[in-house]
Structure 1
């Protein structure tokens, strides 16, 4: 009797194991659809194929796309470039950085871009509360108003960084995932889009996750196309609004400093937070009224001839959500102000200001 009882129990166990094995084999087969080309056998490829199943991508479709992607060593080399070390004294780094974006051509081209796209900019400003000059300045800093959107295939950039660059593999695997979903949502050939070596796209250089979260169809043609100026304009404005842009509020104000040594002793950067009274007690004051504000960031710029100090408000922080850099955000701010001044000048002549 004990043997008879054991036989059905064994049969049940075998059935159970068979059922589990069928599921496991299916997952195994899904993850091992062969990938050819540069990423054949690369770490993370099988897991990515399985990951895309939850989004409705068949293993065969994902494998075919990855088989067509190309590993770009130049991308890895660019990612490996070391950031410059922090200086211990003034070197004029800000002055050199600023000159890249605030030359006469850049300001004039910004005015021309504004005039060509005035209707789209006006709609964006009215709907999202972001002034046109800041939208134009972002596009100017990112791609020279659409003149340099990048030549690297996005699929190559993201696959290279997802499967051949372990240090940032997790982040870029997520961006590759979003890119393939985006391509299907927008009915785009995944091999067609081109952009930066890091996978940023269009006039505003959105990463795929930002595209899916913030890109808008600003011209109403049924597609979100960041290579289209109107959609890029609306998308940049939407990005700013989502990150907390305060309509009508200032961005940054120059500070007067009684003691440069005391100012240097304070932590600076877009993510610092000081009360105005606290800074005033250290001899740091805004050069004009700030209106209603709680705290400000202390911004130190390594300018030729000595350090400059500014106070950053909420809208300055919002610009840094685009690029986590004080210099980047200040370049956008000052370019925006220069473009606005040039456009508003009666004869379009040069207008000087410290902004």
Structure 2
């Protein structure tokens, strides 16, 4: 490899890129949705030819031939043209300085006029499709709109990295971190599903652009989710999450339904702001995204719910305490229900799940 080859830089198509949410401990590998660490990159540093004779790539090719019947020569050609992206490696690394999490700062990035106004236009343009998805899958239009708005601002920021390059880099050259082996395995699986999807759909393997972690299209599905949950919702004979808002809407709704969305049920309940309720919430906040307690358990401990609900009927409802810290401010708390948990299947972050819900509600209010 010459010095010239090692220092090649490829222009990126845009500066604001969606980042995949890669807190993989506990996150289903079926989808790594965009966590929105926004970055500004004007050019991508690449190294061509790195995977032409790479031992890990050769082993991966052997596996794809044996397990999935791929043509060896075709795979060798693909990886001969795949490039290592130093930019992807740099962006996948955790921040060198860890600041305290701030719910109010995070929220302000998504619940704001530009995204809300774009959401209104998206809802208006796709009203019939959203109504159909809500009827067929039981997922409110506002939730679908919230996810797509948080992910890509309704298709505006879908990423500008070649997915083949991103996934090859992360599968074979994941940076030296404590969880490197697990992440490399995860991205090898995503790479396998990407190649299978390209073969099955006759998609040019070089043509697909996405986030630096390989998330694709308007809803930022990773390849495994693309294969498992995406649907041809516009009935034109093929699935296209990059150019079809209709397919994106149907696929998001189906993803949530298959992960257990409960039609007609709330996402979260407000907790009263008295000291006793907040104290119980603080003690019960364990960071787990699934409902581990019943409402009765918390109310018997002294927590009050600031919602007009029937406590007798809802007493055995499973809930989780959602903690929302902001530096130098009192921590905010909510009770998350089953549907809150389902939103964390898209992205495990409590901040993400609540931002999706609140953005959708803000767009719905603006539609009124």
- TM bucket (normalised to shorter chain) is 0.7 to 0.9
Q: Relative to structure 1, is the Cα distance of residues 276 and 83 closer, same or farther in structure 2, using a 3 angstrom cutoff?
A: farther
Q: Which has the higher contact order (CA 8 A, sep 6+)?
A: 2
Would you say 1:245 and 2:261 are equivalent positions?
yes
Aligned residues of 1:258 and 1:284 also touching (Cα < 8 A): no
Residue number in structure 2 paired with 1:78: 91
Residue number in structure 1 paired with 2:133: 124
Residue number in structure 1 paired with 2:114: 105
Instruction: Indicate which of 161, 165, 169 corresponds to 2:184.
Output: 169
Residue number in structure 2 paired with 1:64: 77
Residue number in structure 2 paired with 1:156: 165
Instruction: Indicate which of 229, 244, 249 corresponds to 1:214.
Output: 229
Instruction: Indicate which of 263, 276, 298 corresponds to 2:321.
Output: 298
Would you say 1:145 and 2:154 are equivalent positions?
yes
Q: Which stretches in structure 2 are left out of the alignment for 5+ residues?
A: 1-47
- Residues in 1 aligned to 2:174 and 2:89: alpha-carbon distance in whole angstroms: 7
Aligned residues of 1:273 and 1:298 also touching (Cα < 8 A): no
Deviations 1:202-257 (A, max 9, x none): 00000000000000000000010001111001000010011000010000111114
Aligned residues of 1:43 and 1:163 also touching (Cα < 8 A): no
Residue number in structure 2 paired with 1:187: 202
Structure 1's consecutive aligned runs of 4 or more residues displaced over 3 angstroms after TM superposition are 82-87, 259-263, 289-293
Instruction: Indicate which of 101, 105, 114 corresponds to 2:123.
Output: 114
Residue number in structure 2 paired with 1:266: 284
Give secondary structure in 2 for the equivalent of 1:286. coil
- Residues in 2 aligned to 1:43 and 1:236: alpha-carbon distance in whole angstroms: 37
- Residues in 2 aligned to 1:275 and 1:290: alpha-carbon distance in whole angstroms: 14
When the two chains are superposed, the root-mean-square deviation of aligned CA atoms in Å is: 1.8
Instruction: Indicate which of 210, 235, 248 corresponds to 2:251.
Output: 235
- Residues in 2 aligned to 1:84 and 1:231: alpha-carbon distance in whole angstroms: 39
Aligned residues of 2:292 and 2:319 also touching (Cα < 8 A): yes
- Residues in 1 aligned to 2:291 and 2:136: alpha-carbon distance in whole angstroms: 30
Give secondary structure in 2 for the equivalent of 1:305. coil
Deviates more, 1:119-128 or 1:131-140: 119-128
Q: Which stretches in structure 1 are left out of the alignment for 5+ residues?
A: 1-35, 345-355
Residue number in structure 1 paired with 2:296: 277
Would you say 1:45 and 2:57 are equivalent positions?
yes
Aligned residues of 2:291 and 2:341 also touching (Cα < 8 A): no
Deviations 1:114-166 (A, max 9, x none): 00111211111111111111111100000011000000000000000011116
Give secondary structure in 1 for the equivalent of 2:261. coil
> How far is the alpha carbon of 1:86 from its aligned partner?
8.0
TM-score (norm 1): 0.82
- Residues in 1 aligned to 2:281 and 2:306: alpha-carbon distance in whole angstroms: 15
Give secondary structure in 1 for the equivalent of 2:331. strand
Instruction: Indicate which of 316, 338, 348 corresponds to 1:314.
Output: 338
Deviates more, 1:124-133 or 1:321-330: 124-133
Deviations 1:22-48 (A, max 9, x none): xxxxxxxxxxxxxx8111333421211
Deviations 1:65-109 (A, max 9, x none): 11111100111111112387585xxx7x00000000000121111
Residue number in structure 1 paired with 2:142: 133
Q: Which structure shows the higher helix fraction?
A: 1
> How far is the alpha carbon of 1:169 from its aligned partner?
1.2
